[in-house]
Amino acid sequence: MLLEGKRAIVTGASRGIGRGIALDFAREGADVAINHFAAADAAFDHAAAESLAADIRALGRRAIVIEGDVGKDDTADRLIGATVDAFGGLDILASNAGICPFHGFLDMPSSLLRTVIDVNLTGAYLVAQAAARQMVAQGRGGAIVATSSISALVGGAMQTHYTPTKAGVHSLMQSVAIALGRHGIRCNSVMPGAIATDINRDDWSDPQKRAYLDSRIPLGRFGTPEDVARVVSFLASERAPMSPGRRCWSTAGFS
């Protein structure tokens, strides 16, 4: 029970890596606020979030569902306010919300570029800032773990709008680790490689593509949301301590 008694927010939690993180937090003893954004299929996303909340409650933990686009200015404060109202405080933020609508570079619409930046980078910034303010006010420290991506380091022809945002998330955690270390708040990023989620279903569900991609991965398989979640739970726990000089670990990544 690495996180027994902790109160957490997971953004982008209705499916994929976010769902895996939220469930692992609950298994480790945390109450979880589930954030999701209902866009193309509102009914599906809301049902998925409510199903996750039911699974968390079945584990004996509390759960709430908060719909909202993290790229909007008012969402972060609303997330933190609802979590504090429900659980009495906030100890952990898993900033996971992100989108990657694949598109070529030469004909990239500026509107799509701005949308991806707003969700992936601006959203991560605003939620981390609001969560940190709450943690500082409580005076008991806390943990912020953001989901970056191995794409931040290797790039992608159809991801020229996405990879800079994930590099930015990685850099953001390095900077806020320094800014918040004095308050006892640990800040890290994780950099997943190929993880089997909805965002890349076309790759891992096609047998030929899957065989090719598996052959390029050292372990010979796609990762799972649970693989990432276990790392995030560790980094959110007291087993990932600050050094005696009160400097935070800046990042933690894997591929």
Helical residues (DSSP H) of the chain, grouped into ranges: 16-27, 42-58, 75-87, 110-117, 123-138, 151-154, 163-180, 201-204, 207-215, 225-236
Does the annotation mark 162 as catalytic?
Answer: yes
Could you tell me if 7 and 91 are in contact, meaning their C-beta atoms sit under 8 angstroms apart?
Answer: yes
What sign for the dihedral angle of Cα 56, 57, 62, 64?
positive
Question: Of the residues 162, 189, 237, 250, which is catalytic?
Answer: 162
Secondary-structure percent of the chain, ordered helix, strand, coil, rounded to 5: 50, 15, 40
Distinct helix (H) and strand (E) counts, the chain? 10, 6
166 tagged catalytic: yes
Catalytic residue selected from 148, 149, 189, 233: 149
d(CA 148, CA 231): 13
Residue tagged active-site, from 95, 148, 166, 250:
166
The two three-digit tokens of residue 73, written as one number: 């200015």
Residues with a catalytic annotation lie at: 149, 162, 166
